[in-house]
Amino acid sequence: MGDKKSEVLQGTLDLMVLKTLNSMGPLHGFGIARRIEQLSEDVLQLNEGTVYTSLLRLQQQGWIASAWGTSENNRKARYYSITRLGKKQLEVERENWERFAGVVGRVLSQEGQG
């Protein structure tokens, strides 16, 4: 994909944040963003505002919880973790995403019919 950076499809960031926390355990917002960018091989470029908006939304839903801790560079940081309710929602969101991706795949693979 070259040097092109991609925007995150609306609704997918929450899914990626939930999956990252489920896989990696508690992380601070910067760590979550860097992990998603790393897994995207830097195709996705996440700014702090976007990630923190997602974290706030997920916390309001009860899908993640937060607690203060100390970061790797000895600074105070808010660490986020997935809740039991968040794990259930992750499964729902994953199934919805797979269904949606399947539909898009079918539409994109259809040959011209006329």
Domains and CATH numbers, the chain: 13-109 (1.10.10.10)
Which pLDDT does position 74 carry in this prediction? 93
DSSP labels for 36-79?
A: HHHHTTTSB---HHHHHHHHHHHHHHTSEEEEEEE-TTS-EEEE
- Assign 11 a pLDDT band (cuts: 50, 70, 90): confident
Q: What is the tens place of the pLDDT at every residue in 29-68?
A: 999 999 999 999 989 989 888 999 999 999 999 999 999 9
- Assign 1 a pLDDT band (cuts: 50, 70, 90): very low
Q: What is the tens place of the pLDDT at every residue in 63-84?
A: 999 999 998 899 999 999 999 9
